[in-house]
């Protein structure tokens, strides 16, 4: 693996860190790639979506299309589409032709989730520029892995433009995926909140899990692991339609688990993954119990809401709004487990686990592939305490942390 990261080559490491602290200027992978000669004379395929912008809001596709020494020949879109115009989840997108460029836009979320030989026939190098959100179940990282596999078969080089983990690169939480529960929302044994960038994950997938593609990661300049997205001074473009803000991304690592239940995770509201509930929840009783747990870094507010689509569309729901008051203390997975436990105890007859199919999996239960095993479902059904549940994943998390260190690109 090659590593391009030289935004300020004349500075010593100490000078560079001081400069970054003074100016808070971070260069994205695409910024560093575009300023190099790496793609000169190449026919380029690009995997991207609307969040694939540089530090000045210029879309990566536009930058490559306008570069006279580069020929952009094909575009590829992940889940929600190249334009992220498909609002709901698990809705496939078709192939199309780009209206301005006149080149194909291939969907990698449908019957074909890995680029085919036909899609890659005119491509010399595949560039991937996608914004991950720091959570194992976010499908863009598996679109990336599928691209690595496809390019391994043909010997085509792959360039991954790195981007900051918007919820920081220090904190990890939750279970590690167990063998037998692999799916399109989890291909590799990593933690639910993994604390890695998409470039770091690329090296982990490619090297440790033996994909073996010709991978080149274009690193970030000036990013350190403690930074959340709003501290990077980089543009926030929704990485997918139901993660409109950094606040929604911060809670997502936990409340995405609600997709495996009959609780609403807030899709169809203006605060998806922050607002949770159902028609059978008493908002006051539920919020009171959840607040009394004293979850770290969190305040809970009772609410009533009516989703405009997805679960309980057009129905009044009781529930709560999760307000993160200290994101460095907040534990999204612990919070979600607590929500599930309280929901089951308050309304055992109404609460249920969602049935398959879910994200191309027709046998395993959705909560199992989201959590990474059937352990959580069995624990909640057996009324195991939340503290015991949290303890149960610590050894696997420790092992993942040790593995992860070998692939970190930033201090």
CA-to-CA distance for 148 and 156, rounded, in angstroms?
A: 9
8 A C-beta contact, residue 389 and residue 379: yes
State both tokens at 57.
């809001």
Q: Which residue ranges make up each domain of the chain?
A: 2-240+401-405, 246-373
Distances (CA, A) of 151 to 37, 187, 214, 215: 21, 18, 8, 9
With both helix axes pointing from N to C terminus, report the angle between 283-292 and 332-346 in degrees, rounded to the nearest 10.
Answer: 130
For 86-149, the DSSP string reads --SSS-----EE-TTT--EEEESSSS--S--TTTTTT-SEEEE-----SBTT-THHHHHHHHHH
CA-to-CA distance for 222 and 232, rounded, in angstroms?
A: 9
8 A C-beta contact, residue 335 and residue 298: yes
The architecture that CATH gives domain 246-373 is Alpha-Beta Complex (3.90)
Q: What's the pTM?
A: 0.92
How many other C-beta atoms are found inside a 10 Å radius of the C-beta of residue 49?
Answer: 28
**Nearest CA to 105 among 49, 51, 62?**
49
User: What is the per-residue pLDDT across 331-346, written as a single tens digit (0 to 9) for each?
Assistant: 999 999 999 999 999 9
- Tens of each residue's pLDDT in the chain, 411 residues: 444 433 333 333 333 333 334 445 899 999 999 999 999 999 999 999 999 999 999 999 999 999 999 999 999 999 987 887 776 666 778 889 999 999 999 999 988 999 999 999 999 999 999 999 999 999 999 999 999 999 999 999 999 999 999 999 999 999 999 999 999 999 999 999 999 999 999 999 999 999 999 999 999 999 999 999 999 999 999 999 999 999 999 999 999 999 999 999 999 999 999 999 999 999 999 999 999 999 999 999 999 999 999 999 999 999 999 999 999 999 999 999 999 999 999 999 999 999 999 999 999 999 999 999 999 999 999 999 999 999 999 999 999 999 999 999 998
Q: What is the pLDDT of residue 87?
A: 66
State both tokens at 315.
């129905």
Q: Please list the alpha-helical segments (H only) found in 195-299.
A: 198-203, 246-255, 283-292
CA-to-CA distance for 193 and 133, rounded, in angstroms?
A: 9
Distances (CA, A) of 234 to 24, 52, 150, 166, 297: 10, 12, 31, 10, 25
Task: Give, rounded to a whole angstrom, the gap between the first and last alpha carbons of the chain.
Answer: 19
Q: Which residue has the tokens 């949770």?
A: 276
CA-to-CA distance for 268 and 306, rounded, in angstroms?
A: 8
8 A C-beta contact, residue 286 and residue 352: no
Detail the DSSP E strand segments found in 199-331.
214-218, 275-278, 298-305, 317-324
8 A C-beta contact, residue 320 and residue 300: yes
Query: Class of the 2-240+401-405 domain?
Result: alpha beta
């Amino acid at each position: 693996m090659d590593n391009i990261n030289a935004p300020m080559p004349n500075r010593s490491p100490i000078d560079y860190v001081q400069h970054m602290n003074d100016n808070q200027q971070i260069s994205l992978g695409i910024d560093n790639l575009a300023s190099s000669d790496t793609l000169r004379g190449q026919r380029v395929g690009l995997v991207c979506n609307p969040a694939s912008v540089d530090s000045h809001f210029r879309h990566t596709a536009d930058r490559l299309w306008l570069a006279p020494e580069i020929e952009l020949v094909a575009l590829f879109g992940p889940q929600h589409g190249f334009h992220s115009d498909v609002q709901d989840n698990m809705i496939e997108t078709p192939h199309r032709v780009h209206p301005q460029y006149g080149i194909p836009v291939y969907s990698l979320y449908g019957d074909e989730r890995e680029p085919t030989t036909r899609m890659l026939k005119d491509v010399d190098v595949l560039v991937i520029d996608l914004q991950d959100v720091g959570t194992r179940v976010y499908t863009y990282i598996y679109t990336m892995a599928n691209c690595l596999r496809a390019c391994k078969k043909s010997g085509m080089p792959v360039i991954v433009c790195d981007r900051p983990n918007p919820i920081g690169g220090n904190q990890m939480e939750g279970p590690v995926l167990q063998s037998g529960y692999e799916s399109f929302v989890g291909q590799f044994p990593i933690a639910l909140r993994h604390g890695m960038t998409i470039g770091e994950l690329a090296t982990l997938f490619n090297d440790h899990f033996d994909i073996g593609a010709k991978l080149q990661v274009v690193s970030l300049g000036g990013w350190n692991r403690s930074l959340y997205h709003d501290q990077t001074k980089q543009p926030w473009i929704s990485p997918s339609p139901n993660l409109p803000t950094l606040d929604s991304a911060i809670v997502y690592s936990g409340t995405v688990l609600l997709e495996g239940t009959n609780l609403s995770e807030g899709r169809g509201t203006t605060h998806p993954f922050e607002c949770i509930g159902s028609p059978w929840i008493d908002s006051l009783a539920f919020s009171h119990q959840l607040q009394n747990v004293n979850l770290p870094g969190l305040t809970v507010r009772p609410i009533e809401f009516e989703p405009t689509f997805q679960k309980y569309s057009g129905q009044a729901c009781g529930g709560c709004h999760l307000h993160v008051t200290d994101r460095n203390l907040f534990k999204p997975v612990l919070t979600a487990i607590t929500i599930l436990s309280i929901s089951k105890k308050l309304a055992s007859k109404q609460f249920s686990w969602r049935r398959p199919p879910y994200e191309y999996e027709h046998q395993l239960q959705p909560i199992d592939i989201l959590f990474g095993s059937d352990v959580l479902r069995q624990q909640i059904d057996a009324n195991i305490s939340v503290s015991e549940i949290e303890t149960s994943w610590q050894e696997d998390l420790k092992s993942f942390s040790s593995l992860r260190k070998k692939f970190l690109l930033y201090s």
